[in-house]
Amino acid sequence: MAILGAVIVPHPPLIIPAVGRGREQEVQATIDAYRTAAKQVADWKPEVLIITSPHQVMYADYFHISPGRGATGDMAAFGASETKLRVEYDAQLRDEIIRCGESAGLQVGTLGQRDPYLDHGTFVPLYFLREAGVDCPILRIGLSGFSPLDHYRLGQCIAQAVENLGRRAVFIASGDLSHKLKDDGSYGFAPEGPEFDRQITGAMAAGDFLRFLTMAPALCGRAAECGLRSFQIMAGALDGRAVESKLLSYEGVTGVGYGVATFAVTGPDENRRFGAQCAELERAHLAEKKASEDPWVKLARLSLETFVKTGKQLKHLPEDLPAELTKQAAGAFVSLHAHGRLRGCIGTTGPTTGSVAWEIVQNAVSACARDPRFPPVTVTELDSLEYSVDVLGAPEPISSPAELDVKKYGVIVSCGGRQGLLLPDLEGVDTVEQQIDIARQKGGISSRERYTLERFKVVRHT
């Protein structure tokens, strides 16, 4: 057998009557759609449920599958301790998924469990599935910091493991949508919130899983979405399969988007290999970006690739570099992105070498190998990297945050020997207060300490 079908469901504890205590009626359309989706799952008669949850343990560089024979959970954290569940895990299928994942080069397994109890992202779907009569073993899988394509590849491995063991399986992709839909909501409003939900529900209705893989990271971040990576794994589990898609409901009345959709597998379809399509789009984008790189960015790429491939820093500069690179000295930052996400960023606030060129050479190496937030860049990652180089102007002291502009100026926050810097015009940094707070925290400076401010301009090369 293979994956019989999949559902996308939200996980607000509010919709469980013992938690909502009448307030669940505010989202009755979601509850009604949930019950319709649960009945569809019951009709498929699954032998195992595969549940991906944003509230299961998540690591930046590892896909975690819950270990052990089973788990329990309740709604005590939401005032309903009497509402309890116990589940059994399909250990044989778990082992097969791990085997398939490792064979595909994915970091996946059962290490690092922090909490054995069922998270609410798993509990809420199971509550409605049990209500519909679905009571079979499950697997509980967390998300990661890996790329959309890696989440898709995990889904493919799940489908392969299901087929290898002949299981009747249904995929449950648990995830809310944007948390930024209303000014009076718990998370406030951002215009990207409704736009994210418009795009994602359109993709659900059309069964357009390629959209799940190609949504702009900046849009997703500003929308404060929850479930996209769950949906990406689900899409991989349905790779090459034709589906009948139904968007059963969408609500955003609480300030958080709740979407319910079902995807019944109707047969094979080679046109629905969305991972391969996404990879081709990404290759074309990176090739176009690389072809347009200026000498600053080309030098950063050359320095980084030389170091990653040989373990040694570049010893000689390319010929015919512009005089601005070889005849001037200044601080510079080299930033790396992969699949739309930061992969490393290191720089110097002022010149530490004789020229901007050598500043870029050394900081490109530091960005790929010495940024403490990330593991060192590997050879296999080189083709997926995008670069930017910021050349810093001289810092100037300022007396007030009113002299800052997040688009125009970077900021340096100093206190004693500690210092934190933030570049200008960064995605997700919209106010001067945010800019100062982030720079202050980077420098290990508390809000209670007296600190000084400097501003600087940059010339950005991408």
In the predicted model, what is the mean pLDDT of residues 292-314? 97
Distances 33 to 26, 39, 260, 318, 397 between C-alpha atoms, Å: 14, 10, 6, 62, 58
Do residues 389 and 356 lie in contact, with contact meaning Cβ atoms separated by under 8 Å?
A: no
Residue 282 is assigned to a structural domain of this protein: no
The string of pLDDT tens digits covering residues 252-302 is 999 999 999 999 999 999 999 999 999 999 999 999 999 999 999 999 999
Q: Are residues 122 and 148 in the same domain?
A: yes
199 and 82 in a single domain? The answer is yes
Q: How far is CA 95 from CA 101, 258, 261, in A?
A: 10, 33, 29
pLDDT digits (tens, 9 = 90+) for 148-172: 999 999 999 999 999 999 999 999 9
Confidence of residue 248 (pLDDT cuts 50, 70, 90): very high
Is the domain of 385 the same as that of 319?
yes
Q: Does the pLDDT value for residue 321 go beyond 90?
A: yes
Specify the long-range contacts of residues 185-188, CB closer than 8 Å, at least 24 apart.
185/254, 185/255, 185/256, 186/254, 186/255, 186/256, 187/224, 187/255, 187/256, 188/255
- Closest Cα partner for 228 from 245, 211, 243, 249? 211
Greatest Cα pair distance, the chain, in angstroms, is 75
| pTM across the whole model | 0.88
Domain membership flag for residue 284 = no
Identify whether residues 132 and 266 lie together within a single domain.
yes
For residue 331, give both structure tokens: 């601080």
Query: In 3D, which of 406, 422, 403, 418 has the Cα closest to residue 449?
Result: 418
Question: Is residue 287 in a domain?
Answer: no
Residues 412, 221: Cα–Cα separation, whole Å: 25
Query: Does residue 143 share a domain with residue 249?
Result: yes
Q: How confident is the model at residue 186 (pLDDT cuts 50, 70, 90)?
A: confident
Q: Which among 389, 406, 434 is the end of a domain? A: 389
Q: Which pLDDT score, from 0 to 100, does residue 318 have?
A: 95
Q: Would you say residue 230 has pLDDT above 90?
A: yes
Residue 254 near residue 12 (C-beta atoms within 8 A): yes
Domain endpoint, select from 389, 419, 434: 389
Q: Which pLDDT band holds residue 427 (cuts at 50, 70, 90)?
A: confident
CB of 48 closer than 8 Å to CB of 136: yes
Full domain range(s) for residue 103: 3-274
Helix (H, G, I), strand (E, B), or coil: what is residue 346?
strand
Question: What one-letter code names the amino acid at 83?
Answer: T
248 in any annotated domain: yes
Determine, yes or no, domain membership for 286: no
Q: What is the CATH number of the domain that holds 18?
A: 3.40.830.10
pLDDT tens string 369-409: 999 989 999 999 999 999 999 999 999 999 999 999 999 99
In a domain, 279, yes or no: no
Higher pLDDT, 245 or 185: 245
Q: What is the CATH number of the domain that holds 377?
A: 3.30.700.20
Number of domains composing the chain: 3
List pLDDT tens digits, range 326-376.
999 999 999 999 988 899 999 998 999 999 999 999 999 999 999 998 999
Does 209 share its domain with 339? no
Same domain, 167 and 62: yes
Q: Are residues 355 and 381 in the same domain?
A: yes
Structural domain includes residue 285: no
Q: Packing angle between helix 356-369 and helix 295-310, nearest 10 degrees?
A: 50
Same domain, 227 and 357: no
DSSP states of 376-432 as a string? PP-GGGGGGEEEEEEEEPPPEEESSGGG--TTT-EEEEEETTEEEEE-SS-TT--SH
Q: Are residues 322 and 452 in the same domain?
A: no
pLDDT category, 304, cuts 50, 70, 90?
A: very high
Q: Do 62 and 207 belong together in one domain?
A: yes
Q: In this model, does residue 1 exceed pLDDT 80?
A: no
Q: Give per-residue pLDDT as tens, 107-149.
A: 999 999 988 999 999 999 999 999 999 999 999 999 999 999 9
Instruction: Identify whether residues 33 and 135 lie together within a single domain.
Output: yes
Structure tokens at 160: 């392969």
**Alpha-carbon distance values, 123 to 64, 114, 117, 174, 255 (Å):** 17, 17, 10, 10, 22
Name every residue whose Cβ is closer than 8 Å to that of residue 370 and which is 6 or more positions away in sequence. Answer: 346
Reduce the DSSP state of residue 296 to 3 states and report it. helix
Residue 2 has what pLDDT?
Answer: 81
